[in-house]
Structure 1
């Protein structure tokens, strides 16, 4: 028997042990964060030059197993750089999922490219490799070097799956399809720091991927992102172009190619270094929270979104599928009225005005999930005491 909306409210309040407003996902700060930020202020190195930036990159490399990590001002900047480094050019097509956060498509648009939307997998909520291959079989040809859209003659350059809410996509299958069709795989791992696919951290399958440290992520730098690179030579160039392509010199300003002013400030990185020390604890507590939700919704008409098989998810945002859109709307209205922040998933990208002209395959699963999914409070239990 399904819980009523009031029973759901009572359960969530019992988890967080408060009668105050419960946010969807709150950042957690302690004394170390304050000490690090104060240290940067006192040092005066608050911008992109400072020891904390390099230290933060090294911590992320050690945790994820990535060959190199390049700190950026936000996740969109990291993804934009990943696409740039992958060779995406103006007029290219880049395949992504219709059910994603708008930043994925914004980064594609910033390249002068155009997104093409395919469906998601019901278990992962991320790009479905079967849907990807079906779209390519119908709409594309390959000359052995490039993938070409048959009707327009435009190049399909890259494919960007997103690890939705921290649940890893089917990376092995997507890698196979992309290799077959000569398409560059770029992982949007913005939401999946701490998530593993078959023992390998998300964002390390592709040559380039992007992480986010926005204020609502599992750890935060206020605003910030990270480009993960698999190759040392490419990593050096990525760092170079994200730092305005300035050639090192004691005092001269010389830039040898067009670049981006994307380097993360030391002030943000200081926060990130302190947050990385707590990441394992955050993940443990978020997985404990997911287990509580899993048990609560068991044998009900609500389906708890669980981690895919052979994966270990960070459960960045917990989610449930309601029976239908009417019940979803009721849950959203009642929980928010009760001071418990819940939200629907994003609008499908092909429904937004700036992307409604874009090509897409059949999207039955995306449309179904979009109409029924609710995100529920996901701050680590006891977040205010960590």
Structure 2
């Protein structure tokens, strides 16, 4: 059997190379996304790796006139990974016999491909001088990588779990590994400030780029304070760049029966704060602009007095992680107390949440997962972060 590994920028190009180098009878053993290039593990480029094989033995059954090629898809690695293969079946066989034969062929082929894949992976790592991990630990590493968790965090988790497995001669259940994973991730993030202190904080200011859901998030926090905690709430908005944003917040204020003030400069802001001096909670909205421009942060400081405020940075989980970093770094002159992660429901990758907490050493005030007010918002906590992450990193 001739085995060939193909790496290409797209799956279509990879399949074309397989066809050119091995021919139309080649079998795809495995396909996956790999990362290439970059600096210190970051800014890598996505490529597609395909491992294909061609049976060159003289006993290979050739296609005849009584045989009809049938294309099937076999689940190999996980529920999201499928590999195509072809086999031949006599067209004059009864349908039930054919189905049974196909199922047997598939089961046998799947077993062979899994075994071959494992052998190829181990051989490749040995040739590259890489450390060979137990299969369960390799699965953890792959799952975290698929979640876009940073390589440094993955390495830390793997290095913590491996000696624990070794102490038990690698005879460890998936449940035990799941428990270790949870403890390790919670240890990484539990020392930061999470949630919202409802009885201590009077002024909450939200900032963030355009389209992350700042105004809707502010309305959800206000609704929670009014309906759940019976607080006396008021709104202030400095988002005078968009009339629609002012109207949106005014609509929420009307529904909740709370006052709202529109501020165009620092004097207006100070007057609004004085007006709402006797309120339990004052929520402040800001305009969404291009936060890659540091000048805008300075403009904010001309409108808002950030003293006595608790500022939350709203970030969409759907954003690129490098952009999230850049946005946070632009606020070096403004004290960001916590982060609000929005659009949890619009992605299947949550590694950026863990990355951000660990790298920026900051807690999470709220998590939002939809547009419904007052629903679709929960206070942040280490256990909540882990539960979100573990929806995709499954070991059971």
TM-score (norm 1): 0.33
Structure with greater strand share of residues:
2
Give the TM-score, by structure 2 length: 0.32
Greater gyration radius: 2
Q: Larger relative CO (CA 8 A, sep 6+): 1 or 2?
A: 1
The structure in which a higher percent of residues are helix is 2
